[in-house]
């Protein structure tokens, strides 16, 4: 029993005859007759009585049509759902991000995406880069943004952005009158540092060593946003990802370029065997739009 034969039977019941069913399905009347005969042979009972050239449903035919109508309703639902999936993909996407991009840039992408797809649910987490990597590698999350020091085995990855680090300090700090901050400016300075494994921290350690500079490290943290907040509280000076302060959500700080240039690197991660649905593709496009709209802070 195939769906085409069921469609033929349903068309006859709805239209009242083989000729009308042929017109409804855009086929020939002999094709309708062959399909009906095939279906009756498979069922083992007659669906119609042939009375004076007309097809009159049998009792069995009426009972069978009631079942057909019930199942066609379900089939129509499947067709509608297939159309929805074709248009926007599955109904939920799961996104994880490192903190540096997770409080400003990614929320902008989420907002733009959600306005275009209000029916889609977004599961979003801001975690450390290693956790982001594990969530994506396990297939639990569809998209991740992580720092480049993570282990990239078991995930699809590409460089997403490489912003230049900036120096943040309290308003009115003695270094605020400088147009550029250099390693010598930070010698013996109260310093807010990234975690020792961070690639920017490693680069800074090399720069300080090369220049014979020894800042006084007061705090080590994996989160650049913590550095910016502590700087706003007057605790010290540190280097941060400019995406953290691009939306000026943290007041009370001064921002200056640092020389020599040091760059953060964020990777876009996807599961190795994930389905690249239209939904995920659309969201990644919004991430790139948000990234490209970024303006470095003054």
Residue 292, judged by CB atoms within 10 A of its CB (0-12, 13-18, 19+), counts as exposed
Return the CATH number of the domain spanning residue range 166-257. 3.40.190.10
| Helix (H), strand (E), coil (C) string for the chain | CCHHHHHHHHHHHHHCCHHHHHHHHCCCHHHHHHHHHHHHHHHCCCCEEEECCEEEECHHHHHHHHHHHHHHHHHHHHHHHHHHHHHHCCCEEEEEECHHHHCCHHHHHHHHHHHHCCCCEEEEEECCHHHHHHHHHCCCCCEEEEECCCCCCCCEEEEEECCECEEEEECCCHHHHCCCECHHHHCCCEEEEECCCCHHHHHHHHHHHHCCCCCEEEEEECCHHHHHHHHHCCCCEEEECHHHHCCCCCCCEEEEEECCCCECCEEEEECCCCCCCHHHHHHHHHHHHHHHCCCCCC
- pLDDT: is 113 or 140 the higher one? 113
Q: Do domains 3-88 and 166-257 have the same CATH topology?
A: no
Supply the pTM of this predicted model. Answer: 0.67
Per-residue pLDDT of 179-188, as tens digits, reads 999 999 999 9
Domain layout of the chain by residue ranges: 3-88, 92-161+265-292, 166-257
Say whether pLDDT at 108 is over 90: yes
- pLDDT: is 28 or 277 the higher one? 28
Distance, in Å, from the CA atom of 269 to the CA atom of 279, rounded to the nearest integer, reads: 16
Mean pLDDT of the chain: 89
CATH superfamily of 92-161+265-292: Periplasmic binding protein-like II (3.40.190.10)
Say whether pLDDT at 174 is over 80: yes
| CATH C-level class of 3-88 | mainly alpha
Per-residue pLDDT of 125-136, as tens digits, reads 999 999 999 999
Q: Which pLDDT score is estimated for 38?
A: 92
Mean pLDDT of 83-103: 77
Q: Which pLDDT score is estimated for 80?
A: 57
């Amino acid at each position: 029993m195939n769906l085409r034969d069921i469609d033929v039977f349903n068309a006859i019941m709805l239209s009242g005859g083989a000729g009308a069913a042929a017109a409804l399905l855009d086929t020939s009347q002999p094709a309708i007759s062959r399909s009906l005969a095939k279906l009756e042979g498979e069922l083992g009972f007659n669906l119609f009585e042939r009375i004076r050239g007309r097809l009159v449903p049998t009792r069995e035919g009426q009972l069978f049509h009631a079942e057909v109508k019930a199942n066609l309703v379900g089939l129509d639902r499947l067709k509608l759902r297939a159309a929805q999936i074709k248009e926007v993909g599955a109904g939920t996407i799961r996104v994880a991000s490192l903190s540096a991009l997770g409080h400003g840039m990614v929320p902008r992408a989420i907002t733009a995406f959600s306005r275009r797809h209000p029916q889609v649910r977004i599961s979003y987490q801001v975690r450390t880069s290693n956790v982001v990597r594990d969530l994506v590698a396990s297939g639990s999350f569809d998209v991740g943004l992580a720092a480049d020091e993570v282990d990239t085995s078991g995930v699809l990855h590409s460089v997403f952005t490489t912003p230049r680090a900036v120096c943040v300090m309290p308003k009115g700090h003695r270094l605020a009158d400088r147009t550029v901050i250099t390693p010598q400016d930070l010698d013996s300075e109260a310093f807010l540092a990234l975690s020792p494994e961070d690639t920017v921290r490693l680069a800074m350690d090399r720069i300080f060593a090369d220049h014979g500079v020894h800042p006084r490290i007061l705090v080590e943290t994996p989160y650049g946003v913590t550095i910016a907040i502590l700087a706003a509280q007057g605790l010290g000076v540190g280097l941060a990802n400019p995406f953290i302060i691009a939306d000026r959500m943290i007041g009370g700080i001064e921002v200056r370029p640092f020389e020599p240039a040091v760059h953060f690197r964020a990777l876009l991660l996807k599961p190795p065997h994930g389905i690249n649905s239209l939904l995920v593709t659309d969201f990644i496009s919004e991430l790139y739009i948000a990234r490209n709209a970024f303006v470095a802070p003054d």
